[in-house]
Structure 1
């Protein structure tokens, strides 16, 4: 543990004189907290203090430490020496809380004992680490306490000399930008606003803009409302299993956990639902139409967004009051989400900074939302809860995604698959390696969805006169029979041996097809599967000798890419489209053709090539 106001490296020259800190603001405390939590001094100074060069970062950091230490001493804080203290554990990082580790690593589907074992392996505890963590917690608590006492909120009327370093403040003042407000107005006007500033190019101008935005964020940024339905403040409670008593009770709404009357609508005929509010009506729709928990979550999310939009953008209108113009406005809203509706990263529902959207919707997500909401209104009208359905009068077509490249596919080429398997086989034997090798080889040969893989048990496989098959519980709660070819059987047999379960015939039928790494008969959840596959594929792609453009394309590969790999591989090996459709569980062969349409295109090229040589 060292004081950070000592020179970080002996090779660095002494920083030049100059004032970087005249008035303490929230950004100075954010910088010190970031350093305390492990962010590099230069990176933190670039992010929070608006300086880029190493010597400037050192100077600005020293001055921030001195200024905050002085405040602590004046306030009689006996722990003032903790300000700026560099606390390093043997591993170089603080030991995170177990809950934070589980969330960061996507281990929600793992058992508690498995998650704890992974945690201890990643962050072994020792007395020095524990002491350093306690000291860091005291340091962060001190900084938060001092920020509440001493941090000034930058205002547009403040002089730039109070918030920028001496040299830059002199340039800004000479150019007529004496206050933060005047600087903000000049930047907002656009163009080359920095033309009159000597030795300031576009790179430094962008740093000035970012630093000003940091300073004025609390004043200039639009405030997000505390998004909550007026009838029920607690949003997005995790849904209970379908059909459970909590879902059947008329007063327990899966959307928010609290029921409330909504008398803002009027009906001329009795409803078949017995619902007294829009919330209850939507819940009845979810109970009746959602066939799985995954569908429940999607329906719940889209219905919440609509109800919140009507509350905050339409003056609290009810579903019955939604007209044709409102439908068009909501579609336009989905295609261009306002900033105040986009959540701050990691903000939890009900907390300040949380909003219903994580970012702008993709073309496909926007289209899905419109389809779901239109189906909600059609169902509510059929249930006589609504007298009319305005969505029937609206052109709901969103067209095709203009950014989609129709022949592109989210699949691994044969070369990429070979590189992935080479990387996996080169790693030390482990339960994790055995599991990822099984997933890659099995899904490539069978084409299962993630949910189908997770729900399958060994009892679903059986030997028939035609060969090995498995019964799959597919999309829409539909059963189908999938063929299990030789590659998949070999991969499964190797995986069962690694799990200590023996052969396929000898393994317990109730055991999951895919198991936790430390318990061969414990299932895993979707998030754990997603993070497991994505992490392995990303490492394999980075270590591969594939061309740069292909590595870039595969950087975000997930479990679903393996299903697409099955489809594209089957097409390239001339498997008939109807066979692929049946194996993948597509509702129609048009779906298969639309996704894996190279076979018809090849025939078209051949036929036209004959005619126009």
Structure 2
């Protein structure tokens, strides 16, 4: 055992397995029944190593109790002692020796002469089936092997009462799991059983995907052991873990985390009676309020509803989700940290909230890929940088301005809070865009990535994002009917055909973005592969998302979620970084879906060697920018020319 490493603990399964071995039961079935968590029985090295460890632990416990004899007894192998030969019954002996017509007393006397090791006497009522020698073979004094087995079983019962333990939530995973498996879990930050169950419940069926070295088989054994020990641990593995997330009903996911007055998403946050805002310090007279909202939670809901796009879609728009995030943070902070209703916040509270966002407690932070149904979800990723903090405070100020205009509040405490200064934006492509060489490396890896449905879907997602410059929310929402084939006049005067994709972007603004014809053909091939019309624009394909998952038995494929696409691309880029060195590897490790959008803008405006740059207005349309000034931030040509010119000037001095 390494220094400071938690010692492994013995549980009832270890004792049950050893009792089975001592009694000569089948080793394989006993292993699979009691110690399946340790690994597959086919890994004989693990089996032998584990058996040796258990015996050593048993012997060490006996020595600690000053029972050296018991320690030696535990280590003895009963198989070394041959079993006593099977002896005939009295009736069999009599028949074999022609003594059927003799009296039982005479038969017994002859039997004892033939087998002198047997005890004398006791032949009462023997006959053909009873008595000491009547019906059982080998009855008499137990063999040496049998006596050893009996003593070992007795020793095991004594040891189990002495050293067997029950698992506890705070125990190290190394105390209960196979050492190699525990090491892999610890490297992934899962150091205790409580942390392990939390990760499993927080991620679901594929919780093991982010734990290198733990595959589906090992993960299943871990979950099986945790479920078997739920009562002892007081920790429950949720039913949602048994199925892939895409196969779960929304109600199942929603039930994973109950509503409570705790760090919860807005829709599950329960306002306590005294802090719900009904009697908020800065509530306006109810008769002058234009909202039907009775508390702060409902008032936020009214504000979010006012941002609903004219299309009337039930799902929240990207703007609504962004606004909900900011209102949610403030509501949670006001109640849980400040112990105030949102409608009781004063100027001092607003300033304190600004400071909170700049340095939030660890308990409020988690990676953003944890979805809202997950117990691992948190409202923040970490401290907000000045630009993000500025945007957050502007949104909150907008919320309070709305509530004041509607007569819900009498004032806006955030109106007087100093907001971080806005610095001139740096070129968008300067730090969060790939170089041409980096993209070519990624594209080559995509080409060789594989031909499973998931491989093709990832390839489709990354190439479409780079080629079109769409946002993550946009690419995951477009459907087959949004693609239109149009004819146009080519540069040489001939008529050509191409595809346009209709997109609804920020602010509910629509635009049409060109899409490579080969991409549409590949989408048609995927549709045909799964029994749909090859022609993408066919009526029967209406409603099918461009980023659909064709990996289940549903009649209509489900849309690939924005978070699912994001995580898949992040994982692929991390793998792509392994084939690079230095700055290139660091760039790819940091890259995300939005980098592909930045790369589209930067590469299109720069133009590859031998290719003309794309006009600024066309790139502006592709990216969905309201202002051409925003798109021009991708341009670095003018900056580079100025630097080269000044360098020449400086050298002349």
1:393 aligns with: 416
- The 3 A distance-change label for structure 1 pair 390 and 540 is same
Give the Cα–Cα distance (whole angstroms) in 2 for the partners of residues 421 and 562 of structure 1.
Answer: 12
The correspondence of residues 447-486 of structure 1 with structure 2, limited to 5 A, is: 447-466=469-488, 467-486=498-517
SS in structure 2 opposite 1:555?
Answer: helix
1:151 aligns with: none
Q: Is the 8 A contact 1:456 1:472 kept in 2?
A: yes
1:556 aligns with: 590
Give the Cα–Cα distance (whole angstroms) in 2 for the partners of residues 346 and 451 of structure 1.
Answer: 14
Deviations 1:147-205 (A, max 9, x none): xxxxxxxxxxxxxxxxxxxxxxxxxxxxxxxxxxxxxxxxxxxxxxxxxxxxxxxxxxx
Root mean square deviation of aligned Cα? 5.2
Q: Is the 8 A contact 2:291 2:408 kept in 1?
A: yes
1:592 aligns with: 631
- The 3 A distance-change label for structure 1 pair 341 and 30 is farther
Q: Is the 8 A contact 2:364 2:380 kept in 1?
A: yes
- The 3 A distance-change label for structure 1 pair 355 and 479 is closer
Q: Is the 8 A contact 2:284 2:408 kept in 1?
A: yes
**Alignment of 1:369 onto 2:392:** yes
- The 3 A distance-change label for structure 1 pair 499 and 30 is farther
SS in structure 2 opposite 1:470?
Answer: strand
SS in structure 2 opposite 1:566?
Answer: helix
2:568 aligns with: 532
2:549 aligns with: 516
Runs (5+) with no aligned partner, structure 2? 12-34, 40-52, 66-155, 168-174, 186-195, 236-257, 310-315, 489-497, 608-612
Q: Is the 8 A contact 1:468 1:485 kept in 2?
A: yes
Q: Is the 8 A contact 2:8 2:176 kept in 1?
A: no
Give the Cα–Cα distance (whole angstroms) in 2 for the partners of residues 434 and 348 of structure 1.
Answer: 25
The correspondence of residues 8-157 of structure 1 with structure 2, limited to 5 A, is: 77=161, 80=164, 100-102=203-205, 104=207, 123=216, 134=224, 138=228
1:360 aligns with: 383
1:436 aligns with: 458
Cα shift at 1:491: 5.1
**Alignment of 1:504 onto 2:536:** yes
The correspondence of residues 162-173 of structure 1 with structure 2, limited to 5 A, is: none
Please identify the structure whose Cα radius of gyration is greater.
2
**Alignment of 1:424 onto 2:446:** yes
Query: Pick from 606, 612, 620: which aligns with 1:581?
Result: 620
Cα shift at 1:516: 0.7
- The 3 A distance-change label for structure 1 pair 592 and 131 is closer
- The 3 A distance-change label for structure 1 pair 313 and 134 is closer
- The 3 A distance-change label for structure 1 pair 405 and 474 is closer
Q: Is the 8 A contact 2:389 2:420 kept in 1?
A: no
2:111 aligns with: none
Cα shift at 1:592: 1.5
Cα shift at 1:137: 5.0
Higher relative contact order (CA 8 A, sep 6+): 1
Q: Is the 8 A contact 1:255 1:300 kept in 2?
A: no
TM-score, length of structure 1 as denominator length: 0.59
1:414 aligns with: 436
Give the Cα–Cα distance (whole angstroms) in 2 for the partners of residues 39 and 370 of structure 1.
Answer: 52
SS in structure 1 opposite 2:548?
Answer: coil
TM-score, length of structure 2 as denominator length: 0.56
